[in-house]
Amino acid sequence: MAFIFSTNLGRGLFSKGRRGVSGHRTVVRMAATGPMGFIGLGIMGYPMAQNLINGGGELVVWNRSTEKSVDLSDKNPGKVTVAESPKEVIERCDITFSMLSTPQAVEATYFGSGDKSALEGVSKGKRIVDCSTLTQEASQASADAVEARGGLFLEAPVSGSKVPAETGNLIFLCGGDKSTFDMIEKELSLMGKKSFFLGPCGSGTRMKLVVNMIMGSMMAALSEGIALAEATDLDGQTLLDVLDLGAMANPLFKMKGANMLTDKRNYAPHFPLEHAQKDMRFACSLADQAEVQMPVAAAANQLFISARSQGFSREDLSAVIEALRTKQQNDK
């Protein structure tokens, strides 16, 4: 099994693999310890699993629709075993990653009825690394259930969307079992550029919700800016150029902005709007629990809700601007 060598930069913080002058990672070969499991091969999970394979790993995988599992296996002959159930994945692997899109998917996969659920495969020493974005209560429930069966649980939600997942530039925000975090340092470096250990289970989830709350609020603000510029006969691309040259320059605006302009309106999903709104909702709920007022995030969440009601749930989160355009048309 091949892993990336990474340097310990401090407690809970690791670099990704070293790169040579060509920009390619330097790979260090290590003795195989058996296949790893991977549950969930959607927009994020599929490229994450592929990066583990690219690093020399062998996987046992399961996805709710078998087409993705078969496709991954076909593209990596001899490297992927397609399991018939989540239970089988965990039974066959010491370490299993999961990347599921919604709390409902996690509930069905981990706690589903019958004898094929993920928890049915957990026994003493099995390690579960859940990269899904949940509430802290849901993450703790998964941890409690895994630990009750003798397993070890690490939450590891990621900051980043489709392209960072494909290029191995995710940021892992981890909480839970520290020994598991330390053990999978190399695997995390194959899939991401930084990994943070933040404390007990729930810490990683809270950090992820804060990060995505900020992102959603930024997208709502950019949407308002573009809508106002275009409505007052200013060129939207010039607005983006001005932003990119000043203190507000950031990768999010650079990546999303041009496709939000009226003459583009390209919302191919990298991070589906419905998932962004889910995270905004969870962050607002977390703020209520902490008695923190978040009027900006609350307003942004309402804009995302409006976009969902207009049929943009499965589009990229940048489609939130269409909620403003619809309101503008209706107000005329």
Active site residues: 208
Contact 169, 190 (CB under 8 A): no
The β-bridge relationship of strands 80-82 and 13-15 is unpaired
End-to-end CA, the chain: 62
* DSSP secondary structure of 45-99: HHHHHHHHHHTT--EEEE-SSHHHHHHHHHHSTTTEEE-SSHHHHHHH-SEEEE-
β-bridge partners, 39: 62, 98
Cβ contacts of 294 within 8 Å, gap of 6 or more: 213, 283, 284, 287
Give the list of residues 6+ apart from residue 204 with CB closer than 8 angstroms, or none.
Answer: 139, 155, 156, 157, 172, 173, 174, 175, 176, 196, 198
* 14 sits in which H/E element: strand 13-15
Q: Is 59 exposed, middle or buried (0-12, 13-18, 19+ CB in 10 A)?
A: buried
- List, in order, residues 6 or more apart from 22 with CB less than 8 Å away: none
